[in-house]
Amino acid sequence: MISLLRLAAQAEALRWKRTGRGVAIQAALGAGAAVFGLMLLIMLHVAALIWLAQGRNGAVAALIVAAVDLVIAAVLGWLAARHAEDPIQVEAQRVRDDALKQVGDTASRAMMLAPLLRSRNTKKGLIGAAVTAAVIGFIAKR
């Protein structure tokens, strides 16, 4: 039972580690999208200033750069917004859940046999074990 609890704890630690990794990647991509979004605003302002100040040659170049920034910001924003499940995180969660279920099953078996082992009267011990098994079965179904 202790090895199952240790396995569950290791699986939970791996799951949290992978969850943190995913959040960090999303935050970095979001920060990249924010940087390019800020650059887009700066370039749009520069483009408007150049366009108002002189001919269209400088403004066209600035607008092209701003369009590229817009595309990059959109791609990075889309990557940051999507939520792809990490298969290792999902597997670690499944291992943790299975280990905890096995610990619960082992503990319930031990609790079910306890009245039988404690009782000096076999009939009374069997009734106690049956009642304990029924209660544990009812609780496990919830």
| Residue-wise DSSP of the chain | -HHHHHHHHHHHHHHHHHHHHHHHHHHHHHHHHHHHHHHHHHHHHHHHHHHHHS-HHHHHHHHHHHHHHHHHHHHHHHHHH--PPPHHHHHHHHHHHHHHHHHHHHHHHHHHHHHHHH-SSHHHHHHHHHHHHHHHHHHHH-
- pLDDT tens for 28-71 read 999 999 999 999 988 887 776 676 667 666 777 677 767 877 89
Give the total number of structural domains in the chain.
Answer: 1
Share of the chain above pLDDT 70, in %: 66
Rounded to 5 degrees, what are φ and ψ at 85?
-75, 135
CB 102 within 8 A of CB 85: no
- Name the amino acid, one letter, at 135: V
**How far is the first Cα of the chain from the last one, in angstroms, to the nearest whole number?**
23
Range of the domain at 53: 2-141
How confident is the model at residue 27, as a pLDDT? 93
From CA 104, how far away is CA 84, in angstroms rounded?
A: 31
pTM of the model: 0.38
